[in-house]
Chain A
Amino acid sequence: MKGVKTFPRGGIHPHGRKNLTNKKEIVIADIPETLTVPMAQHLGAPAESVVAAGDKVKEGMLIGKPTGFISAAIHSPVSGTVKEITDVYLANGMKSSAVVIEKEEGFTPAVKTKSDSWKGKTPQELNDIVKEFGIVGLGGATFPANVKYMVPKGEKAEYLIINAVECEPYLSADHRVMLEKAAEIIEGLRIIRKIVGPEKIAIGIEINKPDAIEIMRRQAEAENFELEVVPLKLKYPQGDEKQLIKAVTGREVPSGGLPLAVGCVVSNVGTVNAVYEAVVLGKPLYERTVSVTGLGVKNPGNFLVRVGTPISKLLEACGGTIDRPAKVVVGGPMMGFSIYDLDTPVTKGTSGILVLTDKEAGSGARTACLSCGKCVSVCPMGLNPTKMFKFVDHGDYDGAMATDLMDCKECGCCAFSCPANIPLVQGMRLGKKMARKKKVS
């Protein structure tokens, strides 16, 4: 199609299965009796809990304070009593300290009222709200939003690019947020525009969401808000920051560099809504939209979920799972984590919960590398995955690093496409970890 952009190199077209949920309106999920709120829900240093067992907490109250420059505040999703502070395993396999809260009897969420007072605030004051209210990137990477929005002196954000690509198969949380909260997103954009001060604002949406492209265009026009809606070809991993910038502006973020190096700040569309809620409604980030989907779920849907809700509760809300699911995945199928404990809590970064059947997960046996070059041709970063993997496989981590292992972002295109079923991404992760270890010692 003419005028529809994309990034030039690599990428794949996995089965989308978006139709399982993209027509399902966001439903407010039941709040469970007990919520487990981890302190490490974001990239960077975990928060430190500021409550103790027995403390009474209120909905939206600070319960974890950030502990470093790259860290984020954690707020209580409900009113109730702190039962204990304990350690839990997160979906990504990491251990984190968590505040377990028992919901008080008869708890009803507070009704939020809009306030226009932000218009009188300075950019710095606004970004402080983003920080205090614990806003992190909701696309999955959970990078603290205030750090991202803070443009250092001497640098200029020419572009503010809103990531509404949602290139991960299955997920439709961002899609639904756009359809249902277009006005809020525009208002959120006004706030972020004030903080970041970009010359242009663009929003990248893949063309499998024509209704979202339409609604964002119409909303921006109706409000006379200057927003370039950029329709993008369907291709994974277009939602990756670097690929999105390339697709929208044609610029290439240098290896090891940040988007600001090419004058861009990228923020997820869900995050924009969270900024709106924080600044206009005074609501910290303690709930988010989650797609609960996959062929293993009886009634897939989109839910507004409070952080700390066990995944099992959400599956129950969907009518449960089929008899023998193969995998339960937190996040998208390409970069998400498979979990074994269904009591794992939903966190700020949980964009989806997938119950996959054997058919979807695929279970081919690993064979020898055929040197077919598929991994090379699909790698969006222009790397040579098979070569890197062979280095790692032979324990030569220096060799792997010399082949630009650190430029790999584990998008999974290589492993997805490999006919020999070689766990390439697992190899890259191992290689990076070992290389870091070696550096330290």
Chain B
Amino acid sequence: MSEEMKLRISSSPQIHSPASTAKTMWLVVLSLIPAGIWGVYAFGPRSIAVLAASILGAVASEYLMGLMLKKNTLRDGSAVLTGLLIGYNMPAEVPIFIAVLASVFAIVVVKWTFGGLGTNWMNPALAGRVFVFFSWTGGMSRWSMPHMVPDTVSGASPLGFLKTNLMNFSGSADGPMDFLAGQNYPVDSYMDLFIGRIPGCIGEVSALLLLIGGIFLIIVKIVNWEIPVFYLGSFALLTWIFGGLGYGNGFFTGDILFHLLTGGIMLGALFMATDIVTSPITRKGMIIFALGCGFLTFLIRFYGSFPEGVSLAIILMNIFVPMINRATQPAKFGKLPKEKKND
């Protein structure tokens, strides 16, 4: 044995899985790319500018915070992911400064005032989006039709259109699809919703590609299936039960498919609610969290004054995560009967 052989000494385990923080973040970024490509294709080159602005805003903020706090965290990919998600949550026609400000707020205020990655208690991307939504609602509502839709009449997303027009509606319709058709809104079939031939935020319109990305993340075990399944499931159930009431129909007539395929719920349930930092750590906790998200999304979407409920629902549930974690500690192996009673 040679004298100069240098051996590493460490506590067990002596091997480590290939998982790392950076790998996790970059895989999430990767899984989001197809939906983004669709967004760029649908809404044109301006969406590239919006995405670039939000990513650059996030990365620059992360870099400057890192300089200030003497930490180099750029390589972990979390800032790029936050910026990308913010860009995905913007309409393509949004003023650029709004996209940048959303990212700066997300990184500087939401993420770093609490200590950076891992310690933020609210999803930074969603908080950034909500911040600019309430500050510049007009700018955040500049919708445009995807270029493949021939008549470019309205500038409203399906859900926004429903919200404003259903209030003054006195006729009858079978459901949202029927209603939209009656109002000459250019959506012909569920396929348009599924593929993403509708107005909306850059990254949220293609339910199909978001599903593919989400399922990929579940397969590579970065995302647990519990959150998306219970989120979408509880939301769908409530929609089915109560969703038809607004159209003058009875209970159990809601249009599940329409509501799952419109708005930000796919992006939210697959990529935002599942953010590992701001979701509970136990399986039971994840289920409670997801059920809460589904309920709040339903409440806001059907009875709130906003067309959308996903962002607010998730960040509201983010606030409850520490409590959920405390209430759903794992059950210890070999727990003594006496201890069980004391719980």
Q: CB within 8 Å of B: which residues of A?
A: 9, 12, 14-15, 169, 242, 246, 252-257, 312, 315, 321, 324-329, 333-340, 342, 354, 356, 360-364, 367-374, 376-377, 379-384, 386, 404, 407, 410, 412, 415-421, 423, 425-426, 429
Given known pairs A384-B330, A407-B332, the reply for A417 and B17 (CB within 8 Å) is yes
In the complex, whether B167 has a CB less than 8 A from a CB of chain A is no
> Is B7 in contact with A338, judged by CB distance below 8 angstroms?
yes
> Is A364 in contact with B20, judged by CB distance below 8 angstroms?
yes
- Report A11 CB to chain B, min CB distance, Å: 11
- Report B324 CB to chain A, min CB distance, Å: 12
In the complex, whether B21 has a CB less than 8 A from a CB of chain A is yes
CA distance A370 to B121 in the complex (A): 11
Query: Nearest residue in B to A366 (C-beta to C-beta)?
Result: B21
Query: Nearest residue in A to B115 (C-beta to C-beta)?
Result: A368
> Is B276 in contact with A367, judged by CB distance below 8 angstroms?
no
Point out the residue from B5, B116, B332 that lies within 8 Å of A368, measured CB to CB: B116
- Report B111 CB to chain A, min CB distance, Å: 11
Interface residues of B in 266-323 (CB under 8 A from A): 276-283, 286
CA distance A334 to B10 in the complex (A): 12
- Report A190 CB to chain B, min CB distance, Å: 31
> Is A419 in contact with B24, judged by CB distance below 8 angstroms?
yes
CA distance A246 to B23 in the complex (A): 35
> Is A340 in contact with B7, judged by CB distance below 8 angstroms?
yes
> Is A328 in contact with B7, judged by CB distance below 8 angstroms?
yes
> Is B330 in contact with A333, judged by CB distance below 8 angstroms?
no
Chain B residues with CB under 8 A of A315: 1
- Report B57 CB to chain A, min CB distance, Å: 22
Chain A residues with CB under 8 A of B334: 242, 252-255, 257, 381, 407
> Is A362 in contact with B332, judged by CB distance below 8 angstroms?
no
CA distance A328 to B9 in the complex (A): 8
Q: CB within 8 Å of A: which residues of B?
A: 1, 5-24, 73, 76, 115-119, 224, 276-283, 286, 329-336, 339
> Is B10 in contact with A333, judged by CB distance below 8 angstroms?
no
> Is A255 in contact with B118, judged by CB distance below 8 angstroms?
no
18 intermolecular pairs with C-beta atoms under 8 Å apart:
A9-B333, A15-B15, A242-B333, A333-B15, A342-B1, A362-B15, A363-B8, A370-B277, A372-B24, A376-B281, A380-B333, A384-B281, A384-B329, A404-B332, A407-B334, A412-B13, A420-B20, A421-B21
> Is B117 in contact with A382, judged by CB distance below 8 angstroms?
no
CA distance A369 to B278 in the complex (A): 12
> Is A370 in contact with B21, judged by CB distance below 8 angstroms?
yes
> Is B20 in contact with A370, judged by CB distance below 8 angstroms?
no
User: Interface majority SS on B: helix, strand, loop or mixed?
Assistant: loop
Chain A residues with CB under 8 A of B331: 382
Given known pairs A253-B334, A338-B7, A384-B281, the reply for A12 and B14 (CB within 8 Å) is no
> Is A12 in contact with B281, judged by CB distance below 8 angstroms?
no
Chain B residues with CB under 8 A of A419: 19-21, 23-24
A-B contact sample (9 more), CB < 8 A, given A368-B115, A412-B12, A420-B21: A9-B333, A14-B17, A255-B335, A324-B5, A333-B13, A333-B15, A334-B13, A367-B117, A412-B13
User: Interface majority SS on A: helix, strand, loop or mixed?
Assistant: loop
Point out the residue from B9, B330, B336 that lies within 8 Å of A376, measured CB to CB: B330
Point out the residue from B12, B22, B280, B283 that lies within 8 Å of A337, measured CB to CB: B12
Chain A residues with CB under 8 A of B73: 367
- Report A432 CB to chain B, min CB distance, Å: 12
Chain B residues with CB under 8 A of A425: 11-13
- Report B117 CB to chain A, min CB distance, Å: 5
Chain A residues with CB under 8 A of B283: 377
> Is A336 in contact with B336, judged by CB distance below 8 angstroms?
no
Chain A residues with CB under 8 A of B329: 384
> Is B332 in contact with A383, judged by CB distance below 8 angstroms?
yes
Query: Nearest residue in A to B10 (C-beta to C-beta)?
Result: A338
> Is B16 in contact with A370, judged by CB distance below 8 angstroms?
no
- Report A142 CB to chain B, min CB distance, Å: 16
Point out the residue from A333, A335, A368, A421 that lies within 8 Å of B119, measured CB to CB: A368
> Is B16 in contact with A415, judged by CB distance below 8 angstroms?
yes
> Is A312 in contact with B281, judged by CB distance below 8 angstroms?
no
Query: Nearest residue in B to A416 (C-beta to C-beta)?
Result: B13
> Is B14 in contact with A386, judged by CB distance below 8 angstroms?
no
> Is A423 in contact with B11, judged by CB distance below 8 angstroms?
yes
> Is A370 in contact with B15, judged by CB distance below 8 angstroms?
no
> Is B7 in contact with A370, judged by CB distance below 8 angstroms?
no
Query: Nearest residue in B to A369 (C-beta to C-beta)?
Result: B118
Query: Nearest residue in A to B223 (C-beta to C-beta)?
Result: A372
> Is B10 in contact with A362, judged by CB distance below 8 angstroms?
no
- Report B87 CB to chain A, min CB distance, Å: 22
CA distance A327 to B9 in the complex (A): 7
> Is A368 in contact with B9, judged by CB distance below 8 angstroms?
no
Chain A residues with CB under 8 A of B16: 361-362, 364, 415-416, 421
- Report B14 CB to chain A, min CB distance, Å: 5
CA distance A14 to B19 in the complex (A): 12
Chain B residues with CB under 8 A of A15: 15
> Is A325 in contact with B10, judged by CB distance below 8 angstroms?
no
CA distance A383 to B281 in the complex (A): 12
Given known pairs A372-B276, A407-B333, the reply for A360 and B1 (CB within 8 Å) is no
In the complex, the 5 A-B pairs of residues with the closest C-beta atoms, listed nearest first: A373-B281, A412-B13, A362-B16, A426-B11, A368-B118
Given known pairs A362-B17, A377-B283, the reply for A367 and B330 (CB within 8 Å) is no
- Report A175 CB to chain B, min CB distance, Å: 19
CA distance A20 to B172 in the complex (A): 73
> Is A338 in contact with B15, judged by CB distance below 8 angstroms?
no
Query: Nearest residue in A to B335 (C-beta to C-beta)?
Result: A255
Query: Nearest residue in A to B16 (C-beta to C-beta)?
Result: A362
Given known pairs A336-B12, A416-B13, A416-B16, the reply for A373 and B276 (CB within 8 Å) is yes
CA distance A369 to B283 in the complex (A): 18
